[in-house]
Each structure stands twice: as structure tokens, then as C-alpha cells.
């Protein structure tokens, strides 16, 4: 690995995280190796090369799988509360290294430093959640129809869990999966985004230290690196019973088909096209805060980012003016400067997609009311900084029906009652997050009812973006149907078994069937 000297304390952060060796890229824990090609981690903040990481070759992958499958045999028999203790220690290491890891997340991905710290805090929170869960992996007991019999259900670990994560939350989503999988008794193989490989290296080093300090075998936490071809090694591998994949709908459909072809399990967290409904009874101040942060936070690169603002015609102009005024106050620049609201997009391909979206909405008849554009000059040398834009549009526009992973917000009107707004909100193929701004109890309850939002997340008087540990996170329709980070999401990482015990001296058959010999 060859690192360049940068400002913002990045070199110091890398040193604190232990990223100072060569040939990083593939790991079974404390052991690092690679025979693959190199990929560059380039910061969208200033366009500088941070480091180079080696990709995982087929030979490397086989070493990883041999290590993981071997480690599973030991890890699965360790009592769940003891596994929880290891996760607790991992969470403590994250607390100790929160600042340098948050800084690396911000610099490698481009989100604000506060959001980088918040992402690490999500990792800490899921560790806390998992520790408690390690003493609650309970099944059910049921009454048997046969006298002298007892029935119950129990859960056993699956084995190797394959995790494919996206660049926008380069560490938190991995932790959502890993912390739960570990306490369930699984081992994990992680392929981070090729756009943010160093955060993966950092997390692997933190985990490896905890496992080594507890004399645990290599292979409980494994890291592989590379593009979709490396991911395909896992999706096609029968030794990996569960693939958890976060990314685009297009990617998710490919993963789902490959895993289903071998009758494996998929946990998919895919695209969102999230809307906020604003009714005549909305608190305008709260609406502006929720809509603006939802649309421009992480430069619009959250799967829960607010894409559509559906406003009742009676207050449309009032809300529009307030949101536009807030946009005029946004500060765009270095995300490590906490005075800035918006950082860069991840790379120049993302910039092109953003520009294409603005062109297409105008072609389809939309009107730009907050101009976009790529920023140039001092501080914007990476070419990845863009202006958050707003367009008046119709829900039926093709570009509105698709997720643009950038700070483009579409405003539209609805008339009549909240049912008309819900028809617009639900009128897309994605079903991740949704929100309604209203002080009308009937409207709020209608939004949350079986006839209301068809999304996996439905919020009242808060925005669409963000996830709170403890609540199951995920979406419906083409968002994939997966659930992570809370509630009973742990069950996806385990296999369910029904047990019947006969404690009599006879063998009665179910349903009263007679079979006399």
C-alpha cells in the first residue's frame, strides 16, 4: 500500500487504525495476503490518492473460505453470551477509535465528518444491541397433540454469511450484519465497495485485534476486496448459505437470481425512491428541516434520501418558498470542515448521473427551480462537488420513477385528501422509506394503515432518511424485502429447527394414524 500525505489529519487517522502495511486487501483475521491486482482509493474530497489495496484472487478466496468454514466449527459451539462478550469488546474498540475511523469514512466516502462519526456510532449501537440479543436467541414451545410428547423450536447458526456492502455507508451496514451474525454463531466474509476499500481494511484490523486478544481462530471475520467479479465468487458459492447485499436494484436482481439458483438465502437492501407527503396540517418549519436534510444529507447518496416532496396544492407555494430559501443557505465544500452542509459525490460517474437526471427532467417537461451544476475552482479540484438542485416534476416522469443517487429533489402537488398523495407516493417500484408531515391524527393513522404507505419504513413528522438501531431496517417491492439492525432481524442469520420429544414408552403417530405390527 502506498499512501500519500494529505491534510485533515488523515495520515494520523490511518496510523491510529493500523493501516501502515503493504499488500492489504484479503484477510482471514490477523493474516493478510493477496495475489490480485491493485485498486486505488481516491478521495472525492480533494481527488488525492489515499492508498492502494490489492484485490482478491480466486486462490485468495479459497484460502478465505477454508479459514471461515474451519472457524465456524469452533465459533458455533461457543455459548451465545460468550459470543456476545466478543462483540462487546469489538464495540469498545470502536469507541476508542471512533474519531479516526469516522475521519477515514468522511475522507474516503465524502460524507460530512459529523456523519462519519455518526456512522461509527451506529456500529457501536448495533454492538450494544447484539450483546443484549446474545442472551435472547429464544425459540418457542408448543403443545403436542400426542400425550407424553413435547414440541419446541430452536435456532442454530447458518455458517458463513457473505456480506456485500455499498460505498455510501461503508462501515455501518457491514456492522449491522456482522454484529448480529456473530452473536448468532455465524462467521462473516465481507466484500466492501471497491470505491471505499480502506474503511473495510480498518474494520478488519479492529476486529482481528479483538479475536486475537481472545485466542480465537482465524476466519471468524474475513475480508475480500474487488469489483463485482469478486462478489460473484460468494453469490455462486454453495458454502455461503446467506448473502446479504446492499446496493442498486439492478445489482440486487443479479444477486438474487444467482443465490436462488443454488437455493441459498438472500437479504437484499436495494434502492429507494422516498417521498415526504406534506398535508395542509403540516408544521412547515419541521417540514423544511426534514426535507432539506433528507435531500442533501450525504449529498443525496443515502438509500433513504428524500427524492420526492408531495405537497398539498393549498400550501404548495408556501412550502416551496421555504425549502428554496433553505437551499440558498447551504454551504458546499470539504466535508471535514464542520461548517459545511454538503460534501462531494463519490466520483465523476456519480456526477454524470446527477447531470443526466437534471437534463432528463427538463426534457420530460419539468422545471428547475433551484439550479444545479458542478462546482469548480479552489476547494473543488476533485470535480465531484455539485449543487443540490430542485425540480418541479410529475410523478409519472420516467426520471422521477428511477432513483438518482445524488442531491436532486422533485417537488409535486396533490389535491384533495391524503389518499391522493398516497397514490403518488406508492406509485413507484421502490418501497424503502416514506414520511408524512401532518398534525392531523386521522391523516397520520391513514398513512400508517394497511391502505397507507407501502414502504418498509413509514414515519410521521420526521424525514425519510436515517435508521435507528433496534427497529428493523428495510423495504418492500423492488427494494428487496430485507430487514437488518433490529427487531427479529437476527432470525435471517439462523436456521430454524422443530424438535419433538417422546418421553413415554409408546410411539403414537400424529393425526391418530394406526400402524399396527
Active site residues: 269
**Contact (Cβ atoms closer than 8 angstroms) between residue 84 and residue 91:** no
**Contact (Cβ atoms closer than 8 angstroms) between residue 123 and residue 175:** yes
Burial class (CB in 10 A: 0-12, 13-18, 19+), 427: middle
Cell of 238: 454453495
Alpha helices, H only, 245-401: 249-261, 284-296, 316-327, 348-363, 398-401
Q: Which are the contacts of 480, defined by CB distance < 8 A and separation ≥ 6?
A: 249, 252, 256, 266, 267, 268, 269, 270, 474
Nearest Cα residue to 329 out of 370, 270, 271, 380: 370
Q: From edge to edge, which strands make up the β-sheet containing 265-269?
A: 32-33, 26-27, 221-223, 187-191, 160-164, 242-246, 265-269
Q: In angstroms, rounded to a whole number, what is the distance separating the alpha carbons of residues 136 and 138?
A: 5
Give the DSSP letter of residue 56: P
**Contact (Cβ atoms closer than 8 angstroms) between residue 34 and residue 4:** no
**Contact (Cβ atoms closer than 8 angstroms) between residue 52 and residue 1:** yes
Q: In angstroms, rounded to a whole number, what is the distance separating the alpha carbons of residues 124 and 496?
A: 28
Q: In angstroms, rounded to a whole number, what is the distance separating the alpha carbons of residues 91 and 189?
A: 19
Nearest Cα residue to 173 out of 267, 239, 291, 298: 267
Amino acid at each position: 500500500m502506498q499512501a500519500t500525505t494529505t491534510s485533515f489529519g488523515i495520515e494520523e487517522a490511518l496510523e491510529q487504525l493500523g493501516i501502515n502495511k503493504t499488500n492489504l486487501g484479503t484477510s482471514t483475521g490477523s493474516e493478510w495476503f493477496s495475489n490480485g491486482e491493485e485498486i486505488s482509493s481516491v478521495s472525492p474530497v480533494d481527488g488525492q490518492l489515499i492508498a492502494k489495496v490489492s484485490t482478491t484472487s480466486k486462490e485468495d478466496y479459497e484460502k478465505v473460505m477454508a479459514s471461515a468454514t474451519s472457524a465456524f466449527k469452533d465459533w458455533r459451539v461457543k455459548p451465545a453470551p460468550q459470543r456476545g462478550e466478543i462483540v462487546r469488546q469489538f464495540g469498545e474498540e470502536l469507541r476508542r477509535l471512533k474519531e479516526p475511523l469516522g475521519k477515514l469514512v468522511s475522507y474516503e466516502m465524502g460524507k460530512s465528518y459529523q456523519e462519519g462519526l455518526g456512522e461509527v456510532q451506529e456500529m457501536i449501537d448495533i454492538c450494544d444491541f447484539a450483546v443484549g440479543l446474545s442472551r435472547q436467541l429464544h425459540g418457542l414451545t408448543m403443545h403436542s397433540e400426542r400425550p407424553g410428547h413435547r414440541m419446541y423450536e430452536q435456532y442454530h447458526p447458518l455458517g458463513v454469511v457473505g456480506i456485500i456492502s455499498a460505498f455510501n455507508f461503508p462501515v455501518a451496514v457491514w456492522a449491522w450484519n456482522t454484529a448480529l451474525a456473530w452473536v448468532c454463531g455465524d462467521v462473516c466474509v465481507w466484500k466492501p465497495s471497491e470505491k471505499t476499500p480502506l474503511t473495510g481494511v480498518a474494520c478488519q484490523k479492529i476486529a482481528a485485534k479483538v479475536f486475537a486478544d481472545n485466542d480465537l481462530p482465524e476466519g471468524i471475520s474475513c475480508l475480500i476486496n474487488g469489483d463485482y467479479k469478486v462478489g460473484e465468487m460468494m453469490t455462486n458459492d454453495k458454502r455461503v448459505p446467506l448473502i446479504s447485499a446492499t446496493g442498486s436494484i439492478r445489482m440486487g436482481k443479479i444477486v438474487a437470481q444467482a443465490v436462488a439458483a443454488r437455493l441459498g438465502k438472500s437479504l437484499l437492501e436495494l434502492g429507494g425512491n422516498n417521498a415526504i407527503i406534506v398535508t395542509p396540517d403540516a408544521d412547515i418549519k419541521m417540514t423544511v428541516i426534514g426535507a432539506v436534510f433528507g435531500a442533501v444529507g450525504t449529498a443525496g447518496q443515502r438509500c433513504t434520501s428524500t427524492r420526492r416532496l408531495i405537497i398539498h396544492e393549498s400550501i404548495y407555494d408556501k412550502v416551496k418558498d421555504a425549502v428554496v430559501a433553505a437551499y440558498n443557505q447551504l454551504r458546499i465544500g470539504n466535508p471535514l470542515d464542520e461548517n459545511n452542509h454538503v460534501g462531494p459525490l463519490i466520483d465523476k460517474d456519480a456526477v454524470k448521473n446527477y447531470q443526466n437526471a437534471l437534463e432528463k427532467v427538463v426534457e420530460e417537461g419539468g422545471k428547475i427551480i433551484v439550479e444545479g451544476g458542478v462546482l469548480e475552482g479552489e476547494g473543488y479540484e476533485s470535480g465531484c462537488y455539485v449543487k443540490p438542485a430542485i425540480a418541479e416534476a410529475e410523478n409519472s416522469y420516467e426520471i422521477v420513477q428511477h432513483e438518482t443517487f445524488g442531491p436532486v429533489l422533485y417537488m409535486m402537488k396533490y389535491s384533495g385528501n391524503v389518499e391522493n398523495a398516497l397514490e403518488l407516493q406508492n406509485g413507484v417500484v421502490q418501497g424503502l422509506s416514506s414520511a408524512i408531515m401532518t398534525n392531523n391524527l386521522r391523516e397520520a393513522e391513514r398513512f400508517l394503515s394497511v391502505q397507507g404507505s407501502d414502504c418498509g419504513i413509514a414515519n410521521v413528522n420526521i424525514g425519510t432518511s436515517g435508521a435507528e438501531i433496534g427497529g428493523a431496517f428495510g423495504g418492500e417491492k423492488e427494494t428487496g424485502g430485507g430487514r437488518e439492525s433490529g427487531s427479529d432481524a437476527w432470525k435471517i442469520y439462523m436456521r430454524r429447527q422443530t424438535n419433538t420429544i417422546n418421553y413415554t414408552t409408546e410411539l403414537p403417530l400424529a393425526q391418530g394414524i394406526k400402524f399396527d405390527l
